[in-house]
Amino acid sequence: MSQLTHFDESGQAHMVDVANKQSTHRRAIATGTIYMSANAFQLLGHNASNKGDVLGVARISAIQAAKQTANLIPLCHPLPLTHVSVEFYTDEQQNALQIEVTTETFGRTGVEIEALTAVNIGLLTVYDMLKAVDKGMRIEHIYLLKKQGGKSGTWEATKT
């Protein structure tokens, strides 16, 4: 089993030293899904929420979350993101909304946590904006789809 990198030899938490790592183009893609009632899904699709454009607000929220990740995750390095994109996909059969976030930087450490943070906050924003009509929404299946860059190269989630 590989050693956890956020702990020193004595077991104390620390920020990983990336000073000797190569700066490379780093990219990560993460996803997640929120399941909701038919009524909430209908409001989502027609921007009929009392709070306005649900997907527009969730997109901006996800981007802002990616930019604030180092303030939320204590041992995460602050990164100069070069790109963040947010895409939404609807599934009418399941009354579900999937979010997919891509984050990029040129640096010494990856952007996986930024992508995952953005997915979570984007979905929580959807929940917040639609909770007046459906408090039973479920946020599920949040995971990293792909990461590229660094010495470990490309990694992709296996299809299940």
Q: How high is the pLDDT of residue 152?
A: 87
Tell me, what CATH number does 116's domain have? 3.30.70.640
Residue 157 lies in a domain: no
Q: How high is the pLDDT of residue 139?
A: 98
Q: How high is the pLDDT of residue 18?
A: 77
Just list the catalytic residues: 128
Going by C-alpha positions, the residue among 107, 147, 114, 111 that lies closest to residue 19 is 107
Residue 41 lies in a domain: yes
Residue 3 lies in a domain: no
Residue 94 lies in a domain: yes
- What percentage of the chain reaches a pLDDT higher than 90? 72
pTM (predicted TM-score): 0.89
Residue 37 lies in a domain: yes
CB 32 within 8 A of CB 143: yes
Least confident span in 65-69, 73-77, 92-96, 99-103: 73-77
Eight-class DSSP state of 19: T
Expressed as residue numbers, the domain containing 63 is 24-148
Identify the helix (H) or strand (E) that includes residue 124: helix 112-130
Residue 111 lies in a domain: yes
Residue 134 lies in a domain: yes
Q: How high is the pLDDT of residue 15?
A: 73
Average pLDDT over residues 76-103: 97
* pLDDT level of residue 157 (50, 70, 90 thresholds): very high
Residue 158 lies in a domain: no
Least confident span in 9-18, 19-28, 97-106: 9-18
Domain count for the chain, please give it.
1
